[in-house]
Structure formats: structure tokens, C-alpha cells
Amino acid sequence: MPDSPASRYAGLSRERLAALVPELLLIGQLIDRSGMAWCISAFGREAMARIAIDEWAASSPIYTRRMQRALGYAPDVPGKGDVPTIFKGLQLDIGAPPQFMDFRYTVHDRWHGEFHLDHCGALMDVEPMGEDYVRSMCHDIEDPTFDATAVATNPKAQVRPIHRPPRRPADRHPHCAWTVIIDESHPDAKGTPLLADNERSRAAGLDLDPIDPADDGLADYSGPLLSDLDFAAFSRSALARIADEVCLQMHLLNRAFTLAVAQRAADDGELLRICRKQLVGIAGIAAERLARALDLPADAEGATRLLSLHPLLNPAAYVDADIERAGIVVRPSPAHEDDAWISLCGPDWTAPLQAIVRALDDHLDVEVTGLGAGEDWRLTVVRRDHPAPEPGEVAVVRFSTGSGFAFEPRRSLPITPV
């Protein structure tokens, strides 16, 4: 088997990578702010909640195990992990981006723990929509999806609420609190039927470059559970691998989203319409956050660089693209086999690519042309005389407080049993 292509993130400095990783985790969370709006419009609130359950439950067990293996904290015996292992996974999960979903952990012993959220960005987004939507998220969706995430570590784990929204009183803090208990008497948690389908994807089994243990900084997360991960403590090699894994989390989540929507869409046309709207929305907001975090220049070269680092085109082992100064050449790849985001793009539809470059400057645009008789295509960034308006799909995602959320410095302290 040929070696996997080098990570496109490997060319960034360790400092830039440490800033990039939490951005990618937050971007993954915002995928739902884009997709679920269109599901509510098409199918209603209750069907939207069912789609969200299937989406997360069919992806998080896969990517949680991938991150465990990548960072060296997988259970010695598969399926026999402990509470600290579950909590480490949450810290590296797009479902729980740092600070925006401000998880605080308590470990009583290996098999008993608690967490609460000092700040829940998802709740801040949903509360203005009314109590029915809060219950859908904090009850209907959270119950099965928390257990689905825990089952990746130990099928005997149960995550149960101490209290949760709707908040009584309205300003109650913390926003919610939960127990995590692993007990052999618990029945095994069961995966959603779509999980088996997603496990057969190319993303699920994709090989990525191993972390270089000789690189300066932490090469794994095998040490104690930390209150807040200090990404700057990881090596450049580890951070590049984490970034690639987080992008794969997004692709696995998106694939599960597509599978769940396909079960409810009236036809292929409705499915394509919803998937395209979800992609344009997250493409633009993700690009805006990445451009700001990486301080990219607002010109054609900066836009090409932005495209090369965007989750749409990553990881390199998944999306085959040659990044050149003159443009980007995209070829068929594992991502196309999975019907991932990049498979929607090309000469016939460029809206998400346009949303990405216009996050830097609304005068920028893309020209996309096919190459020969094959499926390859070339993208070139160009500048127009007149600015383009923001797509409505991006404006929908901007409704989320996550679109403008700012990370703050935190101290990283070990968590010991109490």
C-alpha cells in the first residue's frame, strides 16, 4: 500500500497549529447550525431531532476510537476503557469544542465521574428558539448521543443527567450537569443502525501518518486527564495529526448526516438541495474563522492557502488535491467514494468554493474548469470588480454565537480523583 500523503497542516508552525486545532473543533460543532436549519424547514422539529441523533450516534463512536489510537490513550483491552478515557475523548470531539462547550470534569475513581457545562454555546443558540427546541436538544438528542459517544470507550458506560435545561431559574448555572458511571451490571449500549454503514466508509478506516515521537512537545495524551488541553504543549507532528483527525470527524459526521437525511428526503433532488445548503453555510463560516486565526492575506494567494487548509479539502490522504500557486487541481479520491463534501463541488457547482474565498474578500471568486476527459478539475482564484453579497446559507450559520466566539487563555491542570 502506498504511503499516505503528508498532512497539509504539517507546513504550519507549531504555534499556528495550536491555534488552528480548537478552531477546527468549533467548526465541526457549527456543521449542525448549518444543516439542521434546513432539516427543520423540510421535515419539522421532531424529524430534525431524529436526524441529529442518527448523525452523531453514527459517527462519534468511529472518530472517538480513531483519536484514542492516534494519541495513545486507547484502552488496553478494547471496550474496557474508564471514565478519564471518556473525558479525554470529549476534549478532542467536535461535539464538545473547548470553551464554547465548556465541560468541567470531576473524577471520583476510574469508574465514576461527573461533568458540568459552565457555558453551553449550543444552548445559547437554541434558547431563543423556545422551550420545545431546548428539550429536543438537551433531552431527546443528548440522551442517546452521550451514550453513543461513551460506548466507543466502554459499552457499560451510562451518562445520566443531574440537571439540564430548560433552565429553572432562567439564568441557572452551570447550564447542565451529568454523571458518568461504568458498571458491569449495565446493559450494553447499542449503536444506531446507520453506524455500521458509516463504519464501512473510507473515512472510517483511513490511514494517516503516525506522530513523530522525536518531535519537540507531547506526542500523545497518555498522561493524566487535564482540566483544559493546552494544545501548545503538543508537538508539531501531533498537532498536524490531531487537525487531520478532526477534519475526518467532520467528514464522518457529514456522511452520517447525509445518510439520515436520505431516509427522510422525498427524492434525490431534495437530498442534494439540503446537502448543498449545509455545505455552503459551513464552508463560509469555517473559512472566516480560519482566515482570522491564521492571519491570511486577503488576496488570491491567501485565498488559495485558505482553500488548502479548509476541512473541505482535508485531510490530504482523503481529498486528492495538488496545491499550486496558480491554483488547485482536484482528482477523484477516497472522499469522492464516500460522497463527501468535495464530491458536490466541481465545474457545475462552485458555491461553497466561492463562499470560502469570499470570507477573505467579497471581491474574490473562483473559476473552475474540467481537465481533459477525466473527472479532474482545476480551481483558480480571481478578483472581480464588484463585491458579491453574502450567501443566505452563511447568514443562517452566523445566527450561532459560535460564528464570532473568541477563545481565551486557560491553565492546563491535571484532574485527580476526589
Handedness of CA 47, 51, 52, 58 (dihedral sign): positive
Q: Is 387 within a domain?
A: no
Question: Has residue 263 got a pLDDT over 50?
Answer: yes
Residue with cell 462552485: 350
Give residue 373's pLDDT.
Answer: 67
Q: What residue numbers bound the domain in which 42 lies? A: 8-257
Average pLDDT, the chain: 95
Give the DSSP per-residue string, 262-276: HTT-SSHHHHHHHHH
The 10s digit of each residue's pLDDT in 136-163 is: 999 999 999 988 888 889 999 999 999 9
Give the burial class of 325: count Cβ atoms within 10 A of its Cβ; 0-12 exposed, 13-18 middle, 19 or more buried.
exposed
State percent of the chain over pLDDT 90: 91
Cell of 214: 522525536
Q: Is 143 within a domain?
A: yes
Q: Is the peptide bond before 174 cis (omega within 30 degrees of 0)?
A: yes
Q: Is 313 within a domain?
A: no
CA-CA distances (angstroms) from residue 171 to 124, 402, 407?
A: 11, 20, 22
Give residue 374's pLDDT.
Answer: 75
CA distance 70 to 59: 17
Question: Has residue 35 got a pLDDT over 50?
Answer: yes
The 10s digit of each residue's pLDDT in 323-381 is: 988 799 999 999 999 999 999 999 999 999 999 999 999 999 999 999 876 789 999 99
pLDDT interval class at 1 (50, 70, 90)? very low
pLDDT interval class at 3 (50, 70, 90)? low
Q: Is 367 within a domain?
A: no
Question: Has residue 236 got a pLDDT over 80?
Answer: yes
Residue 120, SS3?
strand
When pLDDT is averaged across residues 262-284 and rounded to a whole number, the result is: 98
Q: Is 372 within a domain?
A: no
Domain tally for the chain? Answer: 1
Question: Has residue 205 got a pLDDT over 80?
Answer: yes
CA distance 385 to 341: 29
Q: Is 339 within a domain?
A: no
Q: Which amino acid is at 125?
A: D
Beta carbons within 8 Å of 304's beta carbon, 6+ residues apart: 323, 325, 327, 328, 381
Give this prediction's pTM: 0.97
Compare 88 and 6 and report the one with higher pLDDT: 88
The 10s digit of each residue's pLDDT in 38-79 is: 999 999 999 999 999 999 999 999 999 999 999 999 999 999
